Amino acid sequence: MMGIEWLRPGVFFGSIMFALIGVVIFWICFVVIDKLTPYDLWAEIVEKRNMALAIVVAAMCIAIGLIVSAAVHG
């Protein structure tokens, strides 16, 4: 019976809400980081193809994701 525990409406919708909250917090953190940098991250990565900056931003995204998931999980 434990295999279908996540199908209960309270558990299912709680998981959806925590996922949405986590994505929103992640997005806000990325926007703040983008505003703190002296240039436009998206243009620098996509248009100028700055691979080093892309790796740094990816590492920041992973770190922010881990922090948000730890905060949501408890």
Kindly tell me if the per-residue pLDDT of 50 is higher than 90. Answer: yes
* pTM of the predicted structure, to 2 decimals: 0.68
Asked if 72 contacts 18 with a C-beta cutoff of 8 angstroms, the reply is yes
What are the structure tokens assigned to 19, written together?
């996922």
| Phi, then psi, of 8 in degrees rounded to 5 | -65, 140
> What is the CA 69 to chain-centroid distance, rounded?
9
pLDDT digits (tens, 9 = 90+) for 12-41: 888 888 888 888 988 898 888 889 988 888
Q: What is the pLDDT of residue 15?
A: 81
